[in-house]
Structure 1
Amino acid sequence: MDAAPTLLDTARLHLQPLRPCDAPALFPLFHDPGAMPYWHTLPHASVDDTRATIESMLRPPHARWWTLRTAADPARAIGFLGFLGYAGIPGFGYAVHADHRSQGYVREAARAALDEGFRQLRLDRVELWIHEANLPSRRVAESLGFVRRGCFRQMYPREGRSRETWVYGATPARWCAGRAHGGPVPMAAG
């Protein structure tokens, strides 16, 4: 998974490889305390903070991140998603600007990225770590066919305390079987 991510297109979105030069477009997302209340860092004070975060996201071997851009306005990044690149179990994450939420963009983009991960990159599993109170993200995970597999406590700097982080998992067998029938199938725990 060391190569740069490929361009991915969906019915309504263009997924382009995330680059440090996307920092100005993504800064409002990272800066607004209400936009990403469950993120693992404090709100960004500057575009340089966002650029540094993007650079750190891209640094791990096997990391693959994309910006989300609508087909109607492909010049503007409305969010990002991708694989964290950790050794072992590939983590997956996503975020979208508040004015583009509840429109199915994350779900649509995640389907394309997960297809890439399972079919082309041959990942044997993917995990999502979701703050216990992040109901919208939990709904997205479950609609994609991820199943909750456990939890652990994690420090959330924006809250100044630790909270439960729920672990959701997906495997290629269930993902590909579900996609062959028009969508992911519910996955059994285990």
Structure 2
Amino acid sequence: MKHFLPELRIYLCNRWVSRLPSHTLRLWFYRSVMKFPVGRGSAIFLDATFDCAGNFSLGDHAVINGKCRIDNKGGIYIGSNVSISQEVMILSADHDPDSPGFTGRNKQVTIGDYVWIGSRALIMPGITIGKGAVVAAGAVVTRDVPPFAIVGGVPARVIRKRSEKLDYTISYRRLFQ
């Protein structure tokens, strides 16, 4: 019985609530039941899944597009004006490959303001993505990303720098997403 209610909450979150075609209802559930601080003007689109309650925050005017996997066991903290494209996977937990007992490890992921993460990118546990950085579609981020860097590839490497003159507010919601 000890694990029943937390497991029920995750089941409802990922199999029912994530599919409700209403931002208002989904955000109410995320804020009230899952205890996620979600900033003003932010959106979490359909079919985004989470691994636990808590350990997640989303800044103002940030967007998590559809079908993203958010493994927030180790903590995921996302800044403001962040755009996370479809099917991105952000992991904050893994296992120690040298542990005889397959010991789990939690490692916080931090994503700064004005970050853009392209479709199907994979962010590994313990990563910090600096302010204004861009992660190209399909990239696998295995190291911290410096502020305003554009990275891509497997594993992701710096391609070039992005302009530091960023002054926009993301306002992106679709009616049934």
Q: TM class, shorter-chain normalised?
A: under 0.3
TM-score by length of 1: 0.25
Q: Which has the higher helix share?
A: 1
Higher relative CO (Cα under 8 Å, sequence separation at least 6) belongs to 1
TM-score by length of 2: 0.26
